Each structure stands twice: as C-alpha cells, then as structure tokens.
Amino acid sequence: MNTNDFEILLDSILTENNLQNRLQKDSLSKFALFYQKLIEVNAHTNLTAITEPDEVALKHFADCVTLAGIIPQNVTLIDVGCGGGFPSIPLAIVRPDLQIAALDSTAKKISFVKSVAELIGLYNVDAVCARAEDYVQTKRESYDVCVSRAVARLNILAELCLPFVKKNGMFYAMKSISAAEELEESESSIVKLGGAYKDSVDFELKYLDERVHRTVLAFEKQSKTPSQYPRKFSQIKKNPL
Ligand code: SAM
C-alpha cells in the first residue's frame, strides 16, 4: 500500500475510534512513512508479526495513540522494550511535548528506531541499546514516566520498570486480556518496588468486524525502589517478587 492510501486508511480508523483529535499537523504522513519503513525492514529483521495495513493501523498505531491521551504533559519518559518503536514512535509523533528514551536490548531494533526517528524528523526520541536492568544503574529514579508494551508479565515487568521512575511519577503497563489476572499476581511486587496501583483504562478499538480489547494499568511511584532491585534478570525470571 502506498503512503497516500495508508494515510487515508489510518485517518478513517482513528476517526472511527474517536482518536482523530489527538493528531498533530503532520502526524498522518509521519505514520505512513513509519509504516512503509516498518514493512521494508521487517522483510529481513523481525520487528512485528502484524504487517497488514489495517492491522498495523489499528493494533499498533491506534493502540499507542490511545496511550498518548493518558500520559501527562511535558514529561520525560522511558519505553522499556520498545522493539520496533511501540509505543515510543507513535507517542513521539503525536506528543512532541514528551522527551522519550526508547530502550531495547536488541541492537537491530534500536538501529531501526533510530533510522525511523531520523527519517521522519522526530527530535524528541533518543534510542538506547541496553538491557533495562543494566541501564537503570545509571538512570535510577530519573524519569517522570515509564511505559512498556508486550515485554513480560507484570510481576517481572514491574521490577524492570519501576526503578526508572521518579517519586510521584507514573508507570503505565499496556496489556490485553490478561490485565486483571496479572495485576492480581503482582500486587505485592508493586508495593515492594515502591509503587501503588492507581487505576486502569479499558478500551476497545474497532475497525470493520475487528474488535481489539486493551487495558492500560497505571501505577504511581510512592517511594524510592529499594537498592537491591532490580535483581539479575535470571533471578527476576526464576523468582518473581
Ligand atoms: N514494545 C514492542 C511492541 O509492543 O511491539 C516490542 C515488544 S517485543 C515482544 C519485546 C521486546 O522487549 C523485545 O524487542 C526485546 O528485545 C525487549 N526486551 C525484553 N527484555 C528486555 C530487557 N530486560 N531490557 C530491554 N529490552 C528487553
């Protein structure tokens, strides 16, 4: 699909989901270039299993644009495990007020995110190749907001994400149908890490016959994360808090 047709498709999907008002002046053309580059690079580097234009527009772009409506204004943000740039690139497109660090441990994915940011002129994204549990050693309690999508179950993810967040900052975990179950199994780990569950936003994205259920779980950082966290990843995985 060419970029013009993709812009028209995305515009109609965002309008159907009442997200059109989140767009900036050049957002549609930036999303179309992102889509084109995603498909081109995905042919040889595994970035996403979703490649059909309507599915990318709905399940990747509209999903991340919904998160954009939840994040406070003018904050510093880290996206842990950004992969091919989700949610960091869509957030950077529709929220130029955010200062974003897109973090992933896979060099090829970070090089893709860097090339997209350069291609579409996103000056508010810094792509970093590192493991979260290593990078946090120099960036503890440094960001107003941490976001993460499709990286790990919440009881593992919280230990990777909450240490990055400043006191009174927020951690948003983008989840699908397992959100309530993951929340329940993570209650004690969130508290041990200095966080507190605040609320969740459930939404359904739609296009033609497709229905996509998503939940954003929001946690507030109430106190500093004890210095023994995060542990080594092997320990986090073997024995979640
Ligand atoms: N967030 C993207 C999305 O929604 O499409 C990517 C999801 S992908 C399934 C998970 C990503 O998390 C991978 O790119 C992987 O390299 C990254 N990842 C997993 N554990 C990580 C860690 N400890 N530190 C940094 N990145 C990590």
Model confidence at 234, pLDDT cuts 50, 70, 90, reads very high
State the distance from the centre of ligand 1 to the C-alpha of 8, rounded, in angstroms: 30
pLDDT, one tens digit per residue, over 35-71 is 999 999 999 999 999 999 999 999 999 999 999 999 9
Determine the Cα–Cα distance for residues 109 and 122; give it in Å rounded to an integer: 17
Detail the DSSP E strand segments found in 85-209.
Answer: 99-104, 125-129, 143-149, 165-175, 195-207
Residue of 46, 105, 131, 212 with the most ligand 1 atoms within 8 Å of its CB, for mutation: 105
pTM for this one?
0.97
pLDDT, one tens digit per residue, over 134-162 is 999 999 999 999 999 999 999 999 999 99
State the distance from the centre of ligand 1 to the C-alpha of 26, rounded, in angstroms: 28
pLDDT, one tens digit per residue, over 91-133 is 999 999 999 999 999 999 999 999 999 999 999 999 999 999 9
Is the minimum distance from the CB of 78 to ligand 1 under 6 angstroms? Answer: no
State the distance from the centre of ligand 1 to the C-alpha of 106, rounded, in angstroms: 8
Nearest CA to ligand 1 atom 27: 81
Residues above pLDDT 70, as percent of the chain? 100
Nearest CA to ligand 1 atom 6: 83
- For the residues 66-83, what does the mean pLDDT come to? 98
Tell me, what's the pLDDT at 185? Answer: 95
**Within 10 Å of residue 79's Cβ, how many Cβ atoms?**
31
Tell me, what's the pLDDT at 120? Answer: 96
| φ/ψ of residue 161, rounded to 5 | -100, -45
Tell me, what's the pLDDT at 230? Answer: 97
C-alpha distance from residue 87 to each of 15, 48, 102, 158, 232 (Å): 20, 13, 9, 17, 25
pLDDT, one tens digit per residue, over 166-176 is 999 999 999 99
Gyration radius of the chain over CA positions:
17
State the distance from the centre of ligand 1 to the C-alpha of 184, rounded, in angstroms: 23
Is the minimum distance from the CB of 104 to ligand 1 under 6 angstroms? Answer: yes
Mean pLDDT taken over the chain: 97
